[in-house]
Chain A
Amino acid sequence: MSPLWLLADYTYQPFVKAAPLWDYWYLLLLPLCLAIAIVYKSIRCDSMSRVPRQALELFAFIIVVMVLAAGALAVLVNILS
């Protein structure tokens, strides 16, 4: 968590200052994975009509695997510490 007194007078200016997303950085994984899935499937699919469904499937797959990997690593860290 960011100290509130540091953020009290922080005003976001697009492109000039960083977005105040310090506490929600993990949610930024979603648009990144969606973009990767869309571009990858746009390149791989012969027919563009199949891209939306296949990109959504790939997006869901990436998220599920990353959540599982994060869970496994968290368990490993707890065991080792």
Chain B
Amino acid sequence: MSRAHDTNPVPAPLVALAAWLLPGSGYLLIGQRARALTISITILLLFVLGLLIGGVKVVDPPASYTPNPLKILFDKPWFVGQILAGPITLVTVAVGKDSDDRVASSSFHPSHARVNEIGTLYTAVAGMLNLLAIIDSTYRAGRSGGNP
């Protein structure tokens, strides 16, 4: 544990929000720079690798509106893991969605079979690892009296 961590003035909810917005940044707020860099680089690299393997279309969002939230879980369960990686998932969805309106030659192609599965797995695992990092950084911030 670093000395900065013991005198952390940052509220735990803010640490959790920052950790979701940018993987690893929760640790940065509580003064653990090495841990923040390691986790940030690893999670972002894993997410980008997933996109490189399966293409942008591996991030497949649920329908924009449904009266039953549980239906989202059953329809697109991998998206729940992917969204935990932070706004990078929403950016990926926006980029993939924009391409639908363009001509076919420049649009993003959905992948299939194993390559699609592995790309989806990479991006979802990146999100779930970020969930671990969010929980851990928030716990460390709360334990050190981070609440003002």
Contact = CB atoms under 8 A, between A and B. Distances in A.
Interface of A: 14-19, 21-22, 25, 28, 31-32, 35-36, 38-40, 42-43, 46, 48, 51
Given A16-B108, A18-B119, A48 B53 contact: no
Contacts, number: 77
Given A18-B109, A51-B38, A35 B54 contact: no
B107 to A, nearest CB: 8
Contacts of B111: 17-18
The CB with the most chain B CB atoms within 10 A, among A22, A38, A39, A46, is that of A39
Given A25-B118, A36-B129, A43-B132, A19 B38 contact: no
Contacts of B1: 46
Interface of B: 1, 34-35, 38-39, 42-43, 45-46, 49, 51-56, 108-109, 111-116, 118-119, 121-122, 125-126, 129, 132-133, 136
Chain A interface SS verdict (over half): helix
Chain B interface SS verdict (over half): helix
Contacts of A28: 53, 118, 122
Nearest to A45: B35
A15 B129 contact: no
Contacts of A16: 55-56, 108-109
A49 to B, nearest CB: 9
Nearest to B1: A46
Contact of B53 (A19, A42, A43, A46): A19
Nearest to A17: B109
